[in-house]
Amino acid sequence: MNLILLGAPGAGKGTQATGLSEILNIPHISTGEIFRDNIRRNTELGKLADTYISKGELVPDNVTVQIVKDRISQKDCSKGFILDGFPRTIAQAEMLEDILTTEGKSIDKVVNIVIDDEAVVKRLSNRIVCPSCGETYHLEFNPVEDNKCKKCGEQLVHRDDDKPDVIRNRIAAYHRQTEPLVEFYRGKGKLMNVLSESSIEESLQNTLYALGLKGI
Ligand code: AP5
Ligand code: MG
């Protein structure tokens, strides 16, 4: 199954994609995570991406699309993939369609995780992440005892772009550039809205239900 997870910053795309990836046994591809990994390793891509991410702006389409094109052509994506945070503009969505069509593939479903802006701020300001493996926690909703990653033991940190002024810019960029994708995919009959107001586990169950996978 080829899936897209759409939604505002902090909607829970990464959290749900991690759960879905384990259940469906297909890779979770987060463009944000690929950029952060490059920033950590101080690559040329990381240096470029950081100039946008640190301000809460989108990385240019041509850069982002090439990364996704390379990633989905890898063997582990042959049985499906979950795109988290991509596409984020209409132009990216159109380029994705072209890439998939060339490979004889298509997107099966687009899950739009619905949340209001106030809840986003609460989720992001209390999010803690593992700087090594990217695992995500929340001080209130998904806490850890000793501030150490359960997967790799690394000390957890706040994400650099989870500062109040950057969060505001990310939300604005979402409404301006990414929200139009809701209508884009609705028009293609692929969109399903999933509410993310309940707990992490219930939100994942809502998504599984919407995908017709309840009971797996
Ligand atoms: P990216 O990393 O994609 O960030 P984002 O879209 O802003 O989304 P987040 O990762 O902040 O939130 P999320 O929806 O994954 O929520 P999470 O699961 O962590 O992108 C970062 C930057 O990279 C962008 O700003 C841009 O600059 C650049 N970029 C990336 N992709 C790009 C593209 N395609 N084009 C151009 N630029 C691009 O959950 C949030 C918190 O809430 C966590 O603490 C979690 O534990 C908690 N939580 C989750 N679900 C629930 C729940 N149901 N109940 C309670 N708490 C919950
Ligand atoms: Mg994320």
* Domains of the chain, residue spans: 2-114+175-210
For residue 88, indicate whether it is catalytic.
yes
In whole angstroms, what is the distance from residue 15 CA to residue 185 CA? Answer: 22
Q: Does the pLDDT value for residue 215 go beyond 80?
A: no
Pairing of strands 136-138, 127-129: antiparallel
pLDDT at 99: 97
Average pLDDT score over residue span 175-201: 96
* Bridge partners of residue 28, in order along the sequence: 82
Domain topology for 2-114+175-210: Rossmann fold (3.40.50)
pLDDT at 197: 87
Q: Does the pLDDT value for residue 173 go beyond 60?
A: yes
Average pLDDT score over residue span 69-79: 96
Distance 17 CA to ligand 2 centre (A): 9
In whole angstroms, what is the distance from residue 58 CA to residue 24 CA? Answer: 29
pTM value?
0.96
Give yes or no for a contact between 8 and 19, defined as CB atoms under 8 angstroms apart: no
Encode pLDDT of 120-145 as tens digits: 999 999 999 999 998 999 999 999 98
Q: What percent of the chain lies above the pLDDT cut of 70?
A: 99
Question: Could you list which residues have their CB under 5 Å from ion ligand 2?
Answer: 14
- Does ligand 1 lie within 6 Å of residue 15's CB atom? yes
Q: Does the pLDDT value for residue 52 go beyond 70?
A: yes
Q: Where are the alpha helices (DSSP H) in 41-89?
A: 44-53, 61-72
